[in-house]
Amino acid sequence: MHSPKHSASGNLLKNLDYSVVQQCMHCGLCLPTCPTYDVTKMERNSPRGRISLMRAIADGELSPGKAFADEMYFCLGCLACMTACPAGVDYASLFEHARAEAEHSKANHSWTRRLIRKLTIGCLFMDQNRLQLLGSIIRLYQQCGLQRLLRGSGVLNWFPKRMRELESMTPDVEAGFSSDLISPITPAAKPSKYRVAMLTGCAQDLIFSKVNADTVEVLARNGCEVITPAQQHCCGSLHAHNGDLDLARILARRQIDLFPPENFDAIITNAAGCGTHLKNYGNLLADDVHYAGKALLWDSKLKDIHEWLVQIGIVPPRDCNRLVQKVTYHEACHLCHGQKITRQPRAILGCIPGLKLEELAESTWCCGSAGIYNIIQPEMAGQLLDRKMKNISRTDCMIVATANPGCILQIVNGAKSHSMPIRVVHPITLLAEAYRRE
C-alpha cells in the first residue's frame, strides 16, 4: 500500500491510497467487536463511524478539528474490527494516518502536550541510552526505599488524584537491562539449524529484560544461534500509533541497518504490540527508494517468538513436574487481531508439563492497556480492565499468560486493585522455566 508523505495541503488521508479509505461497506459487523462502541453505543465511537469521519476529511468535506482528534485518540487501536471485517478493511493503516492527520492539524495541541510529546516520543524513545538513564533513575528510586517511604508517608495524598494513580502504575525496573543479561552472540544449545536476531525493545528492555533473556534461552534450546546487539533502537510503534510517521520511518531505517534481514533466517520479537508494527515496515517505507526492497525482505523475516517456535517445531520440555497448575491465556490485541496469531501461544502452553490451560471468556477483548491508552483515557481503560479481571476471576486460575508488556502491566495493576493473588507472566517465561526444571 502506498505510504503517503506530507502534502502541501497537509491532508494525509486524502493522499492515502483512496481504495483503502473507501473499502468500508458500512455493514456494521465490526460494531459488536469494538470495545468503545460496546460501552457508549454511539456511532462515532465505532470503526464504521470513525472511517466515515476519515472519508469526509479525505474528500475535503470536513476539516480535522479537535472533535476529530479527540475521537481518533478515543479509539483503542485494538484492531478487533479487522478480525470481524468481511471486506478486509485495513483499519490499522487508516488509524495511524488519521492520528497523523490529527497531529498535523495541531487541533488538539497545547504547550503542555507539545512538551510531553517532545520529551517522550521525540527524545526518550529515540535513543536507548536516554531511556536506560531514565530507567536507572526509576530503579534507584525503587530500590533505595524512597518509593516505599513516599507511599507510606502520606505525602502523595497532597497530589491530585490522577497523579497518585499514575505513580501507583509505575512499573518495577529490572535489576539489569537486556545487554546485562544476554550475550551479543548466544550459540545454539544443540547443533545449530538457524541464525536469528533478537529484538530487545525499549520498554521491554527496562521492565521485562528477564523475558528477553528467557526468549534467547528458549531459542538456543531450539537450535537457534541468537544475535542480540547491546545497542538497539525503539521499533517505532509508539511513534506510528501516536501520529508521528516521520519519526517511525527514521527508527525503521535504523532497525534495518542494525539487522540486515538478508543475514538472518528470522528476526524475533516477543512483544505483541511491537510485532504488528515491525511486520509493516514495507508499507511504512514504500516510498523510500533506498529502503523499500529491504523493508519488504524485513517483513518476511520478522517473526513473533510463538510463531517462529511452532514453525520450526518446538522441542517440548521433559515431564519433570508432578504438580498440575491451571493457567489461562489473555490474547494481546496486536497478536490475535494484528498478526492473526492465536493457535501458536496455546500450542506452547500446551506442551509445558504440569500446565492445564483454562480458556478465558472474551480472551480477545482488549484489557484497556493499548499502548498509552490507559494513561490518556483512564476511565474507558478502567472499565475494560474491570471486565477483564472479572473474566479472569471466573477461571480460578492463579497464572495468567499474555504476550505483551502493556497487557502484563495492566493486568498486574488490575490484580492489585481487585486483590487477586495471581501471577501474570509471558508464555515464553513459563516455557523457559520448564526447560530449566529438566
Whether residue 251 sits in one domain with residue 149: yes
* Residue showing cell 482488549: 366
Of 73, 105, 137, which closes a domain? 105
Instruction: Please provide the size of the chain in residues.
Output: 438
Domain assignment of residue 319, yes or no: no
Parent domain of 81: 18-105
* Chain-centroid distance, C-alpha 255: 17
Of 314, 342, 363, which closes a domain? 314
Whether residue 362 sits in one domain with residue 245: no
- Highest mean pLDDT out of 13-27, 312-326, 352-366: 352-366
SS (H, E, C) 89-150: CCHHHHHHHHHHHHHHHCCCCCHHHHHHHHHHCCCHHHCHHHHHHHHHHHHHHHHCCHHHHH
* pLDDT over 70 at 4, yes or no: no
Residue 11 pLDDT: 66
Question: Do the beta carbons of residue 104 and residue 12 sit within 8 Å?
Answer: yes
Whether residue 194 sits in one domain with residue 93: no
d(CA 235, CA 258): 12
Domain assignment of residue 340, yes or no: yes
For 130-161, what is each residue's pLDDT tens digit?
Answer: 999 999 999 999 999 888 888 888 888 888 88
* pLDDT over 60 at 270, yes or no: yes
Of 261, 281, 314, which closes a domain? 314
* Residue showing cell 502541501: 8
Confidence of residue 241 (pLDDT cuts 50, 70, 90): very high
Confidence of residue 273 (pLDDT cuts 50, 70, 90): very high
Whether residue 269 sits in one domain with residue 177: yes
Residue 168 pLDDT: 83
> Which of 234-266 are b and which e, b meaning 16 or more Cβ less than 10 Å from the residue's Cβ?
bbbbbbbbbbbbebbbebbbbbbeebebeebbb
User: In the chain, what is the greatest distance between 2 CA atoms, to the nearest angstrom?
Assistant: 67
More confident residue, 12 or 406: 406
Residue 232 pLDDT: 96
Domain assignment of residue 192, yes or no: yes
Instruction: Give pTM, 2 decimals.
Output: 0.92
Residue 18 pLDDT: 67
Whether residue 296 sits in one domain with residue 158: yes
Confidence of residue 50 (pLDDT cuts 50, 70, 90): very high
Domain tally for the chain?
3
The DSSP output letter for 32 is G
Contacts of 7 (CB under 8 A, 6+ apart): 14, 15
Confidence of residue 20 (pLDDT cuts 50, 70, 90): confident
For 88-124, what is each residue's pLDDT tens digit?
Answer: 999 999 999 999 999 988 888 888 888 999 999 999 9
Whether residue 406 sits in one domain with residue 280: no
d(CA 27, CA 48): 8
* pLDDT over 80 at 7, yes or no: no
Whether residue 186 sits in one domain with residue 263: yes
For 23-37, what is each residue's pLDDT tens digit?
Answer: 888 999 999 999 999
Whether residue 299 sits in one domain with residue 364: no
Q: What percent of the chain shows pLDDT beyond 70?
A: 96
More confident residue, 157 or 238: 238
CATH assignment of the domain containing 409? 3.40.50
* pLDDT over 60 at 2, yes or no: no
Domain assignment of residue 204, yes or no: yes
Domain assignment of residue 1, yes or no: no
